[in-house]
Structure 1
Amino acid sequence: MQNRYGEIMELRQALMPPLLNEAKVARLADLAAEIDCGHQDQTGEQLAEFNREAMTNLAFIDFQGIYGGQDHETWVRQILAGPHEQRLTDITQPELTEMARRIMEGEGPEHATYFWLEMLALNIPDPRIIDLIYHPGEYFGDGDNKRELTPEQVIEIALAGKYTPG
């Protein structure tokens, strides 16, 4: 987002998806694919290995249906980013607006969008911020999902708490 001086805003590291070991991501994505496409009684070793390497405690069911929703690499990146998603006491409105802009403009890879969505959800008291971005008609209760809001408007509305409970 350009500020009033025409400069592009850089987000601080705490607001960026974590840098990940690409070999680890590839290995975990392969394991996730084996588990997702496998049978519960035949993928126990892969599940244990995934949990050990990713430092998670996921169950077989957590892997089911990944392929139908997104690729395994993106899913793994989301899992590994989880510990980095946090509420920040010093987050600023311009930072929130920049994350909203990046989401709304589709800037960056899919896993980055998921990271920024989660960061907005954690750092804005409005529980329906995601609806405001993607389904404003549902958010406002008027069905007008063609409404185009700017990132600034999205954040101002969300911070003001002017949502209709769904």
Structure 2
Amino acid sequence: MKISTHRFYLRELTENDVGSRYLSWLQDKETAEFITYKQKNLDELTLYVKTNLLAKDVLFLGVFCKCTDEHIGNLKFDKIINHSAVMGVLIGQANWRGCGVATEILPASIEYLYREMNIDSVYLGVERDNTPAISVYDKVGFLPCTNQPFSLGDNGLAMVHRFL
């Protein structure tokens, strides 16, 4: 399976996508503050990817630049049940942050989930302090919600995108 946009393509991650560059994203100060669980080494990261690939309720995608084939981030949909999913996104490569990656890949991937997997509600949790992310989510059609299928900390904001 492959999702294509103007500048990017998304495909399922593989163990071959795990490397020191991917691990460095989790250790980057700017992204680390917004990631709940961070793998500490390549073995943990490889196991994390393998476990998610085997899970029946997870779609774990890598985001790749079409012109360079560079792996620049990930998009994960999990808890895929009852026509809904929970989304997490990470633009790992710092030089791609703020360049419209999420506003390009999120609509295409959500449309794919709706069309191919009959998913009509996509939820996410975001820290209230992460105003750039909230702005992007708002721009692509996410709205604040109170009935999320996951728990949030005191500083968390739940959002949902619905195809209804």
TM, length-normalised to structure 1: 0.28
Structure number having the greater strand percentage: 2
Structure number having the greater helix percentage: 1
Larger Rg: 1
TM, length-normalised to structure 2: 0.28
